[in-house]
């Protein structure tokens, strides 16, 4: 009875989703599902969008304190806490894809395009 119930997204799924968005772009769930998720029968466009939504929420929380909201580290329902590098990638992707509110874009002024310090090889 493998209906459509509990399907905990694993780290591999998240990585594939992030890599797919990073390569093809957010919103191309159909292509991502056809290419990166060709090995899986489940996970449709709706599921991909839903996971991305949840990923964004996980990426925007906890990093900078807005104005003083829920502290105490709200870890109520966190199945498998996504690693830092993944969350960082999601944030960068969301920022470059223009789906992130300008609330978090409050860093670097003379940093130009280079994210690293001495960008010799780019």
Residues that bind DNA (CB under 7 A): 3-7, 9, 27-31, 33, 42-47, 49-51
Q: Smaller CB distance to DNA: residue 30 or 74?
A: 30
SS (H, E, C) 16-27: HHHHHHHHCCCC
CB-CB contact of 17 with 48 (8 Å): yes
Q: Smaller CB distance to DNA: residue 49 or 61?
A: 49
Structure-derived torsion over alpha carbons of residues 44, 47, 51, 53, reported in degrees to the nearest 10: 110
Min separation Cβ 109 and DNA, Å = 30
Q: Smaller CB distance to DNA: residue 33 or 91?
A: 33
Q: Smaller CB distance to DNA: residue 31 or 95?
A: 31
Min separation Cβ 106 and DNA, Å = 23
Min separation Cβ 9 and DNA, Å = 6
Beta-carbon contacts of residue 52 (< 8 Å; ≥ 6 apart): 17, 21, 26
């Amino acid at each position: 009875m493998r209906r459509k119930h509990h399907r905990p997204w694993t780290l591999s799924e998240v990585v594939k989703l992030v890599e797919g968005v990073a390569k093809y772009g957010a919103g191309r769930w159909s292509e991502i599902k056809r290419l990166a998720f060709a090995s899986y029968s489940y996970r449709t466009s709706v599921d991909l969008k839903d996971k991305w939504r949840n990923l964004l929420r996980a990426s925007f929380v906890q990093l900078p304190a807005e104005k003083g909201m829920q502290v105490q580290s709200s870890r109520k329902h966190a199945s498998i806490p996504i690693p830092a590098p993944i969350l960082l990638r999601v944030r960068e992707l969301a920022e470059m894809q223009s789906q992130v509110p300008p609330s978090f874009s409050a860093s670097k002024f003379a940093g130009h395009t280079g994210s690293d310090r001495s960008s010799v090889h780019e």
